[in-house]
A and B are shown apart, each in its own frame.
Chain A
């Protein structure tokens, strides 16, 4: 009886090992930090979010933080990225290093003339798809006001299949205060665009005290 149970467990383990897939359980997060214009002053809040992510993500998960500048479709805009080791102790070491990298960026950050959110999102989608994680999230720390120079082309459909998009700390601009419809319209336009791109979810979180909803779908 015990022998039989042992063989069943052994076969189960072998069978399970054959079809084990770590990608389905890991998650990847790509965070875009807007550094354009006056929003650059908000970067301290981004530090809180990055710390929250570092504390929440598990071994095997991936995290990348990139800045949004005049043109953001570039690997050079990635401030820090890491796929955490499977071993928890090593993952903690990586998290500490990640935090130091981001702190350094916060100390030296400067504003940019334009805001290329779309470019950053395309770059983020590419990064997330490369990780092969089961759960992919793009966090956009921005006022969601995209401003492009004349040469930059972003008016084409983008693909974000299987990716959650969360806009964080979408502050109201002066013009939004005059006419709140602009703010609503801006968020609505982004929602339409993101959903049209195939994203699984669109969410806005303005209260950074409620970050627990960041990674929950």
Chain B
């Protein structure tokens, strides 16, 4: 008998042996039923309980984190909106200083023009006074009755002629007066135009002010919403943060591409300065040096943007006195220019090294020298490399702007992602906990299935007993 068959009661027949062993074990299994049930329940609780507890803790942690994220988001949003409002007020202040500062002069000009117009208008209203006794004299003459009297007729004709002469003279004088008034009125036109222009300017400036005021109103409303901690404000801020995060990430990736190109421009010539065969881990020192130069350039760019107050990553720089800040600005700019110059030189050196390598390879291959391109054609890539080497550090300097957006929005985006992760983990733990508990319930059922025969016997015995007891209790009841 081999060692694997030692348990076989019927040698060579594993199934029969197993059945016999099972039949022997069945009474013991039945006897241990309650204990085994308790054991399964305990194990199920021991494993499932902590899992459920962990799930609960994780859900609570996710809730806390969400609250904290909300607080941070609202605080950040409040700061941002506050800055925007501040900026708008600065704009209004600038508008008021620039435009309304000259308002007294404008008003004086308007008043002067109005006075002049009024005076001219008054002049227009002045007409030559009519002869005082004309009317009465005419009335008296009209009453005179000629009745064919030749003398009276003559006198009247003489009067008529005189009146006609005087009338003509008066008419011409009136015409002259009206002509002069028309001239004055004609002279109004430039004043009217000037007035119209001045009022137009005032209107434009006031409209600008009104626009800025409406912007401030909108921002103030947003600010109030944030202060009230409404869900709408939180949602708007979160969406804005995600958008910022996506845009900043995209721009940073583009910048990383630029940095990569920059790296390959200077990595090779750096080996001429620091050696091409010294390694730090898997990287050459020349490559690390190139990387450090690019990082230093990015840092200088960061300081430059900070000193210009475009970004606010370092409160220390933002809080510096203007004089000191300007010094830092100049230092960063000068260093950036120097580094850009070094990069341009390295790009040139790279081109020279490549040319030297090519020459060596050609001489080693003993191949006929390829016809050299025209000088200016050869110079184009060299020049392009140098320009790239000089320009890329400045382009990299602007990375500070998307970097700031990234840092600020990453808190929100990362926080939300972490909350989601914790929730998923909690859900997973909860499912696992329930699964374990249910699994051990299944084990209990399976255990009962294995001892189904003793259980059937038990049921029959119990039924018989309860039947006998019922038979015994029935006459008693009747007797009672």
Is the beta-carbon distance between B275 and A59 smaller than 8 angstroms?
yes
B285, B295, B313, B360: residue with the most chain A Cβ atoms closer than 10 Å: B360
Contact A86/B271 with A55-B361, A58-B277 known, Cβ cut-off 8 Å: yes
With a CB–CB cut-off of 8 A, which chain B residues contact A58?
276-277
Asked if A167 is an interface residue, CB under 8 A from chain B, the answer is no
- Asked if B335 is at the interface (CB within 8 A of a chain A CB), the reply is no
A96 and B360 contacting across the interface, CB-CB below 8 Å: yes
Chain B residues with CB below 8 A from A26, complex form: 277
Chain B residues with CB under 8 Å of A86's CB are 271, 275-278
Bound complex: CA of A6 vs CA of B268, how far in Å? 24
Q: Given A13-B288, A92-B356, answer yes or no on A59-B279 (Cβ-Cβ < 8 Å).
A: no
Q: Given A1-B407, A13-B292, A87-B271, are A99 and B364 neighbors across the interface (CB < 8 Å)? A: yes
Q: Complex: how many Å from CA A20 to CA B276? A: 13
Residues of B93-127 at the interface with A, using a CB-CB cut-off of 8 Å, are: none
Closest to B313 in A: A2
Contact with B along A1-14 (1 / 0, CB 8 A): 11000100100010
B366 proximity list for chain A (CB < 8 A) = 51
B353 within 8 A of A: yes
- In whole angstroms, what is the CA distance A54 to B302 when docked? 45
Residues of the A chain whose Cβ atoms lie less than 8 Å from the Cβ of B356: 88-89, 92
Interface majority SS on A: helix, strand, loop or mixed?
A: helix
- Asked if B180 is an interface residue, CB under 8 A from chain A, the answer is no
Is A164 in the interface zone, CB < 8 Å from B?
A: no
A217 within 8 A of B: no
State whether B360 touches A55 (Cβ < 8 A): yes
Known interface pairs A1-B407, A89-B356; A13-B280 also in contact (CB < 8 Å): yes
B365 contacts chain A at the CB level, 8 A cutoff: yes
Give chain B residues whose Cβ lies under 8 Å from the Cβ of A19: 280
Chain A residues with CB below 8 A from B279, complex form: 20-22, 24-25
The reply to whether B276 and A59 form a contact with Cβ atoms under 8 Å apart is yes
In the complex, chain B residues whose CB is within 8 Å of the CB of A124: none
Q: Counting CB contacts under 8 A, is A16 at the interface? A: yes
Q: Is B379 an interface residue (CB 8 A)?
A: no
Contacts of A17 on B, CB cut-off 8 Å? 280, 285
Q: How far is the CA of A51 from the CA of B361 in the complex (A)?
A: 9
Complex contact A88–B276 (CB within 8 A): yes
Chain B residues, CB < 8 A from A87 = 271-272, 275-276
Which residue of chain A has the shortest Cβ distance to B303 in the bound complex? A2
Q: Does A60 contact B (CB under 8 A)?
A: yes
Interface residue? A69 (CB, 8 A): no
> What does DSSP make chain B's interface, helix, strand, loop or mixed?
helix
Is B363's beta carbon under 8 Å from chain A?
yes
Whole-angstrom distance between the alpha carbons of A61 and B288 in the complex? 20
Task: State A175–B279 Cα separation when bound (angstroms).
Answer: 50
A26 vs B295: C-alpha distance when bound (angstroms): 28
- Give the residue of A20, A61, A92 whose beta carbon is less than 8 angstroms from that of B280: A20
User: Is the CB of A136 closer than 8 A to any CB of chain B?
Assistant: no
| Nearest chain A residue, comparing its CB with the CB of B361 | A55
Identify the interface centre among B278, B361, B407: most chain A CB within 10 Å of its CB. B278
Q: Are A89 and B272 closer than 8 Å at their CB atoms?
A: yes
Q: How far is the CA of A1 from the CA of B313 in the complex (A)?
A: 9
B196 at the interface (CB under 8 A from A): no
Determine whether the beta carbon of B271 is less than 8 Å from that of A88.
yes
Closest to B352 in A: A89
* Shortest beta-carbon distance from A121 to chain B in Å: 26
Q: Contact: A20 with B278, CB < 8 Å?
A: yes
Of chain A, the residue at the smallest CB distance from B354 is: A88
Q: Is A67 an interface residue (CB 8 A)?
A: no
- Compute how far the CA of A60 lies from the CA of B285 in the bound complex, rounded to whole angstroms: 13
Q: Which residue of chain A is the closest to B283 with respect to CB atoms?
A: A16
Q: Report Cα–Cα, A13/B275, bound state, in Å.
A: 16
Asked if A71 is an interface residue, CB under 8 A from chain B, the answer is no
Residues of B within 8 A of A13 (CB): 280, 288, 292
Q: Which residue of B lies closest to A9 (CB)?
A: B295
Complexed CA–CA distance, A96 and B363 (Å): 9
Per-residue 0/1 for B342-359: is the Cβ within 8 Å of any A Cβ (1 yes, 0 no)? 000000000001001100
Identify which of B275, B288, B357 contacts A92 (C-beta below 8 A).
B357
Which residues of the partner chain A approach B360 to less than 8 Å between Cβ atoms?
54-55, 92, 95-96
The distance from the CB of A158 to the nearest CB of chain B, in whole angstroms, is 29
State whether A59 touches B292 (Cβ < 8 A): no
Closest chain A residue, CB of each to CB of B271: A88
Are the C-beta atoms of B353 and A89 separated by less than 8 Å? yes
Residues of B within 8 A of A2 (CB): 299, 302, 313-314
Residue on B nearest A54 in the bound complex, by CB = B364
Q: Given contact pairs A9-B292, A96-B363, enumerate 14 new A-B contacts (beta carbons under 8 Å).
A: A6-B295, A22-B278, A25-B277, A54-B360, A54-B364, A59-B275, A61-B277, A86-B275, A86-B276, A86-B277, A87-B271, A91-B276, A96-B360, A99-B363
**Can you report 29 A-B residue pairs in the complex whose CB atoms are below 8 A from each other?**
A1-B407, A2-B299, A2-B314, A9-B292, A13-B292, A16-B288, A17-B285, A21-B279, A22-B278, A22-B279, A24-B279, A25-B279, A51-B364, A54-B360, A55-B361, A59-B277, A60-B275, A60-B276, A60-B277, A86-B271, A88-B268, A88-B356, A89-B353, A91-B276, A92-B356, A92-B357, A92-B360, A96-B360, A96-B363
Q: Which residues does A use to contact B, with CB under 8 Å?
A: 1-2, 6, 9, 13, 16-17, 19-22, 24-26, 51-52, 54-55, 58-61, 86-89, 91-92, 95-96, 99
